Amino acid sequence: MKTWEDRIAEVWEDAANELVDDEVISRIDAIAAERGADDARAEFERAGARDSAGRPLEAIALYRRALDLGLDAEHEPQAIIQLASSLRNVGETAQALALLEKAKQDAAGSPHGDAIAAFHALTLASSGAPYRALSVALLALVPHLPRYHRSMTAYAREIGEHDA
């Protein structure tokens, strides 16, 4: 018998490279309902389905609920990133930036650090700070470069000051 997580993953695998529609939302909702409305992970999955279907306002409320209920260490950073992305999509860039900046501090050394930086850069660009966005993106890239760490760090920090 497949686990709850396996069945959720199966829905997402079936939806890969496809538009998420009402059918996918219904499938996720049905599986999530098995855990009840007070389960953080179930609410996270419900939020993700709506987010993927282009319903950011519905997703925002569910991401917030999932975070309030308390997600595990794997899903909490994902929910924060996805919530911030949805907030950016509806023009709430200040709220998105606050979430991402806090997540960046909390996730030092986390496997989600680069994803946080990518969404932080995207949100900065959307908020009218393209130089700071470029700075964040370049600073996230620095550890992956074979050389030039010191010079690229200095250049990235310098360019970030142009929006200040």
Both tokens of 121, joined, read 């850069």
Q: Classify 20 as helix, strand or coil.
A: coil
pLDDT at 105: 87
For residue 98, CA distances in Å to 2, 81, 120, 129, 146 come to 39, 11, 10, 14, 32
Residues of the chain with pLDDT under 70: 164
pLDDT at 164: 64
Q: Classify 47 as helix, strand or coil.
A: helix
CATH code of the region 4-92: 1.25.40
